[in-house]
Structure 1
Amino acid sequence: MQNHVAFLNEWGDNSLDFEKKNENGTITSTHFIVTALTAVRGDAIEIRRILSAIQKRYFQGSALDSNVVDNDHELRKLILEDLCEAPFQIFALVVDKRQLIGEGLRYKGSFYKFLYRLADRELFRIFPDLQMIAGEIGSDSFMEGFIKYVQQNHISNLFNESSFGFVNAQNEAIVQAADFIAGTLARCYDETVIADQRQDFLDVMQPKLMTIKFWPDVFNPYQVRYDSQDQQYDKGLAELSINLANDFLQGRAKSTVPHVIDQVTTLSYLVFHFRYINAIRYISSFEIMEHIKVRRGKAVSLHYFQTKVIAPLRDAGVLIASSSKGYKLPANESDLYDFVNHSNAIIEPMLSRVKKFRDQIRLATDGKLDVLERNEYSLIRKVVD
């Protein structure tokens, strides 16, 4: 039985001609965005309850519509804040169409097929038992073709219960909410409608952002939120952090081992927030563990998270800074010292206790028993001595 459901919508057009206007007089979008609001099936009733209140509060009971809000950015932010009270997560695919020139994708058919593969791969990698729901659409849209693509590539069987359903978007508030989120993300990335308030929008959505998959996925330090005059950001260290993280992710992405999947989930989350949300912000253990819970369908303990997720990532050479505020990829020298200081606050008292323990035993045995004399304790012995 499918445990997760995704409600999909899209934003943007299929034109790759950026020199002229479209048939309806609009300017060709620079990006194409696919948004999926994912949720545990049992939460759909609560989501609809919250969305119904939003419709009454902001849309006079009518459909949630990003176009109605348009450039009223303060209103958009208020609606976003209310939307994020609902128990869903946001998955998005953001494609910079300007980078498709020369990729053999100038025609709508090949362009859409390219997007089908991207969206399908990312969604079903996260939730192999996902049911997807989209609004009723015409025959010339991305969703219509995507539905056929999914049906052809995910035949229901005992091992894969994925399916695709249609609803009337006027009657399905969650599909409307996916449209609103897609329109908001457009104002964060598309050059034709980008807003000065884009970082405010991302900050509001941040707790709900499972991931945003960007294409092309090229590290660009200027996509990271930081002040170029601020000493809190070190470009070289940031690139090292990302490169080491990507090396791990590329080597483990296809693993089916549960704790490795949790490591990939955690590191992907850290990379995403570092690159596209805030390179300076620490992310709490609780927030990351909640993200793991969404992916695997059940909660993990703090001990498991620390010993089976964070520790192995560090053992593999991934740079993860930590402090009392949580975890992050290091972006500056201060982050490095945060990790060392945090570790020192744990290690130094422990070594002190070991020393006292050792001294008490040696004193009680007239020096005949040294609990650190064995070879396996040579490193601790050197530090204590």
Structure 2
Amino acid sequence: MNTKAFIYFDEFGNSHLDTESKKGTFSHFIYTAFVIDGNDLEKAKDIREELSKKYREGSPLKSSKLNIDNRLAIISKIKEVPFAIFSLVIDKRKIDNKNLEDKTVFYKFFQRLFLTQFVEKYESFEIYFDKLGGQEFQNSLRNYISNRVFSPTLFNPDRKYVIADDKFEEPLIQLADLFSGSVGKIYCTSHKDKNADKIFDAINDCLFVDFFPNSTSQYLGKYNKELDISDKKVAKLCIDIVQKKLSQNETSIEESELLKHLLLVFKTDPYRLAETHDLVDIIRRVHPKATVEYVREIISSLRYKGIIIVSIEGKYGYKIPNKKNDLIGYYNRYLKSIIPMLKKMRIANETIRKEHFDIDIFNEHENFHLIQKFINVLEYENIE
């Protein structure tokens, strides 16, 4: 953007950190910014007004009031102006800072985290946020941003942060609401929409997503790390396997839901793991009593069907492989279990044979002779 950036941001979810005791509580809190160049400001305003009249009889565009067809049509129309969507997806279940249980502290902390990027990216900008809470809260938030994030300076005088009403004062905040709701329907697993894949496909070309906590890089949605040819082949192969199984209806409802979520995570960032508790939330939509153990059973079943799903040692979650090292790690994890098991069985059998030479479990029971063959390979190859 060559001129002033106009940034409109809104939220999805709430600041309540107790996500377990109250049914329907949001698992995630999401900030989303709709960012356009000053040159496109008037056209964006005209489009918003046109959409408001067409789909809401002149009332504000509200994400919560739109069905999937209207949502996609509106997004398509807005694309007549260049824009970008920046989102910060906060997993509230991972927050253990007691200070953030206070609503004011929560909003200040995450607005600072979210808005800092724009200060670094743009020299000249105006940021607009929808009115929230009472006047005291708004003043406190406005003062905090001015003191801790940015304020006009001699070298950057054209910077503004405004808390405004989205109906009369700054209607373009309605577009931030639209996209924040859209992103929420994709990434908030407790409230994920059945059409999340369609929404993702509609906005992915202009979407930049960051995650809190444990983010691995800034805006992974447009991660451009180069992979070698073998890695690209692995990624394509593993994705093709998943898509083929889904298209051939070779999976159960629970398995399909899990695979669709893994695909979504892969499209967002192929390096990112799908959190186990997110997968539980996804499966509970079709199997209300799903647990972590049940998710593991589903993943085991999918692996037996030839679908490659890997986990990373020392981390929680699962992913579709996007590079050769994912497969190496996958095989190595099993190897680390198999070899110690074989060694323990060898030691046990040797101890028994020393004391009771006439007892030979390996040869006396069906299939156990295979264990002896595996042990022979270990000893011959001197595998540790």
TM-score scaled to structure 1, two decimals? 0.53
Deviations 1:301-359 (A, max 9, x none): xxxxxxxxxxxxxxxxxxxxxxxxxxxxx9357xxxxxxxxxxxxxxxxxxxxxxxxxx
Match of 1:156 among 148, 152, 174: 152
SS in 1 for 2:189: coil
| Alpha-carbon displacement from aligned partner over 1:53-92 (angstroms, at most 9, x marks no partner) | 21122111211001212xx323322222222333321111
CA contact (8 A) 2:3 2:39 kept: no
Task: Give the Cα–Cα distance (whole angstroms) in 2 for the partners of residues 18 and 279 of structure 1.
Answer: 28
- Out of 75, 82, 85, the residue aligned to residue 80 of structure 2 is 85
Q: What is the CA distance between 1:98 and its match in structure 2?
A: 0.8
> Structure 1: how far apart are the matches of 2:192 and 2:50?
28
**1:201 corresponds to which letter in structure 2?**
I
Secondary structure of the 1:90 match is strand
The reply on whether 1:17 has 2:18 as its aligned counterpart is yes
Q: 1:212 aligns with which of 185, 203, 209?
A: 209
The verdict on how the C-alpha distance between 1:194 and 1:18 changes in structure 2, with shifts beyond 3 A counting, is same
Which runs of 5 or more structure 2 residues have no equivalent in the other structure?
A: 222-231, 241-263, 272-320, 325-384
Shift of 1:32: 1.0
Structure 2 equivalent of residue 136 of structure 1: 131
Secondary structure class of the residue paired with 2:186: helix
Deviation of residue 16 (structure 1)? Answer: 0.7
Deviation at 1:185, TM superposition (A): 0.9
Match in the other structure for 1:277: 268
The 1:188/1:41 distance shift into structure 2, 3 A limit, reads same
Q: Shift of residue 15 of structure 1?
A: 0.6
Counterpart contact for 2:5–2:37, Cα < 8 Å: yes
CA contact (8 A) 2:235 2:322 kept: no
Match of 2:24 among 24, 27, 31: 27
Larger Rg: 2
- Tell me what 1:59 maps to: 56
Distance 1:219 1:51 in 2: 35
User: 1:80·1:204 contact (CA, 8 Å) conserved in 2?
Assistant: yes
SS at match of 1:105: helix
- Shift in Å, 1:11: 1.7
Q: Please tell me whether the aligned partners of residues 134 and 143 of structure 1 are also in contact (alpha carbons under 8 angstroms).
A: no
- Aligned partners of 2:235 and 2:323 also within 8 Å: no
Alpha-carbon offset, residue 145 of structure 1:
4.8
**TM-superposed deviation, 1:174:** 1.2
- Paired with 1:137 and 1:115, the residues of 2 have a C-alpha distance of 15
Q: Give 2:268's aligned amino acid.
A: I
Among 103, 108, 111, the residue aligned to 1:108: 103
Q: Deviations over 1:158-179 (max 9, x none)?
A: 2223211243311333100100
| 3-state SS of 1:178 partner | helix
Tell me by how many angstroms 1:182 deviates: 0.6
* Aligned-partner SS, 2:154: coil
Query: What's the CA shift for 1:142?
Result: 8.2
Corresponding residue for 1:75?
70
Secondary structure of the structure 2 residue equivalent to 1:231: helix
**Which amino acid in structure 1 is aligned with residue 12 of structure 2?**
W
Residue matched to 1:174: 172
Q: Which runs of 5+ in 1 are unaligned?
A: 235-272, 281-329, 334-385
CA contact (8 A) 1:203 1:277 kept: no
3-state SS in 2 of match to 1:116: helix
**Amino acid paired to 2:103:** K
**What fraction of aligned residue pairs are identical, expressed as a percent?**
25
Q: Which one-letter code corresponds to 1:169 in the other structure?
A: D
Deviation at 1:104, TM superposition (A): 4.8
Flag the 1:144–1:128 CA change in 2: closer, same or farther, 3 A: farther
Structure-to-structure mapping, 1:235-254, within 5 angstroms: none
- Could you say what secondary structure the match of 2:81 adopts? coil
C-alpha deviation, 1:219, in angstroms: 5.7
- Partners of 1:278 and 1:17 lie apart in 2 by 28
Provide the C-alpha distance between the structure 1 equivalents of 2:213 and 2:14, rounded to a whole number of angstroms.
Answer: 18
Structure 1 residues 145 and 93 mapped into 2: Cα distance closer, same or farther (>3 Å)? farther
Distance 2:136 2:35 in 1: 22
Aligned alpha-carbon RMSD (Å): 3.6
Instruction: Give the match for residue 43 of structure 1.
Output: 40
Q: Deviations over 1:116-140 (max 9, x none)?
A: 3311222222224322122333338
Cα 1:276/1:97, change in 2 over 3 Å = farther
Q: Which residue of 1 aligns with 2:226?
A: none
Q: What's the CA shift for 1:45?
A: 0.2
- Relative to structure 1, the CA distance from residue 159 to residue 147 in structure 2 (aligned partners, 3 Å threshold; closer, same or farther) is same
What count of residue pairs does the alignment treat as equivalent?
235
